[in-house]
Structures are given as structure tokens and as C-alpha cells.
Amino acid sequence: MTGSGTWLTLLAGRSPPGGRSPIVNQVRAALEHIGATPQTSWRLHVRAEPRFEFCWHRHPEYELTLITFVSPQRFVGDSVELYQPGDVTLIGPDLPHTFVSGDHSPAQEAVVVQFRRDFLGADFFNRPDFTALADLLDNADRGLMAHSDLPEPPAATLRELPVLPPAARTLALLHSLLTLASTPHLRPLASEHYRARPRAVAQRRLDTVCEYLSAAHADPLSLADVAEVAHMSPAAFSRFFRRSMGRTLTTYLNEVRVAAACRLLIDTDLPITDIASRAGFGNISNFNRRFRLICAQSPREYRAAFNADPAS
């Protein structure tokens, strides 16, 4: 794993951290309004749906999410990964994100908690007793991830939240956050580069480009094609994209295509040659090379490893 953050983490809770890829299907991340429930000062809901649709959004609340069934893709800032059942993420305020399942995925289920930093009072997390929690919330601006295979997974308490009475539910939420704060292997999701957000005009341009690449990644694409979408010359766009995303258009596009291939490897029994074509790779040898570079194994090995995982 290099320090550049260009790898894509798509293995079942066993692979190295990675993937940076803001695939969006809206021009801008929609602002979601979240209200507290009548019983608590924060929001809890169990999201059970036949399919998680791609809805690129943000909100001023923190979001603590546990996927309890099946494995959708998780998009946080410029990160794209497969979320494994039992994995927990904490997403900071105004960090764009979404969860999406493939066309062939079974029904999805998640426990989702959303809260503001002051939901227990303006100075609650400033007290010395809760320094660890304050640090956790501070570090969530890039999103944080805890794997399901930890000795004391934060998921254990989150699973019980829906059946608890209001007061016990709030105490259990604090316990979940404390467990997460003491987890030794927390890792950020979005890259360090993503923290420095571009100005509004540049962000709109970047979101438009990402929307286009999300929809057209399976087509033959040139630098000139994408630059035209951004209304820039190829040379100017190349500099803009690299400065904004921390890598070249080619590297990013390969990440998007490999992510699409991973989804097909898990959700379908299609031959690998067909998957390569559907993901946008012109030939199988280039597909195998790019896949191995990003996922550290071949497409065939990836499919076999994922199907052999009891969590899947």
C-alpha cells in the first residue's frame, strides 16, 4: 500500500485501506434535512430496502452506520469500497456520501444513527471526561471505518439500539462511540487531499465531471471528451483534475472501472471477459493488469475469495 491513496479497498474486511473515488450521480451532493425523533435528541432508523439506490448527499449531522445484511458499496468523499456486514463507519458533518447496491444484490439492511455534535448540550464533548470522544468527532471529517473482525466490534451495541427504550438507547449510543474511539485500527476513508475542498465553482465543475464518469465509465473515453464536459481545454483540465483529485484522470477512471467490475464479480456469474467489457476495459489483459494493481489479486481470485467468506 502506497501513501498516495490510489488503491481501492474491495476485499471482505481483510484487504489494505485505500480507494479514493467520488462517483456521484447528481451534479452536487444534495443537502439532506434530518430531524430528531420525538423520543430522543438524535435520529435512529433501520434502513431495510430491496436495493440501496445511489443518492449522493450530505448533512450537518454526524452519521454512524452499521450494515447488518449483505454488502453494498460505500462512497465517502473520494473513497469507494465494499462495506461488509458488521463494519461500522462514522461520517462527519457535510461529508458527501452514499451507499449503493448492485442490480443483482439481495435485500439490504442497515442501522443508521444521525446526531449533531451538541445533541447532549453545547459543551458536553468539551468536558475532560469525553476527550476521547471529542477527538473521535474531530477526526470524522474524512470519515472513519472500523472492521467487523475487531476483538470488540462497535457493531455489537449498535445492533441492539432499535429495541432499547429512549434513555437506554442514548446511553448505548455513547457506549458505541466510546468503543469506536478506543478502537486501535480506525482508519480514515476520504483522502487527506480531499479535506481541502475546492472553491464552489471548482467543486461544481468537479461534481459534473464525476457524474459524467459515473454514467459513462463503460464507454471509450478520452481526455478531450471529459475536458469538454468541464468546458476546459484538455491541458487545463488535466492540471485541474490532478490538483483537485490528487491523481490523473486515467488513474481515477481505472479505479471507477475496477469498482464496477468488483460489483459484477460479486453480484453475477458473468464470465470475466464480459465483466471486463461491461466495466469499460477494451481488452482482458489490460483489465487483469489494472485489477491486480488496484486489488492486489486477479479478478478470479477476488471472486473466489469473496464467495468463500462466511460474512458474504
Whole-number pLDDT of residue 5: 30
For 30-190, which CATH superfamily applies? Jelly Rolls (2.60.120.10)
Whole-number pLDDT of residue 121: 87
Q: Please, what sign has the CA dihedral across residues 212, 73, 308, 90?
A: positive
pLDDT, average across residues 173-198: 80
Does position 147 have pLDDT exceeding 50, yes or no?
yes
pLDDT band of 21, cuts 50, 70, 90: very low
Does position 237 have pLDDT exceeding 90, yes or no?
yes
- Whether domain 196-308 has CATH 1.10.10.410: no
Domain boundaries, the chain: 30-190, 196-308
The overall average pLDDT reported for the chain is 78
Q: Considering only 12-21, 51-60, 257-266, which range has the smallest mean pLDDT?
A: 12-21
Does position 152 have pLDDT exceeding 70, yes or no?
no
Whole-number pLDDT of residue 40: 60
Alpha carbon distance 125, 64 (integer Å) = 17
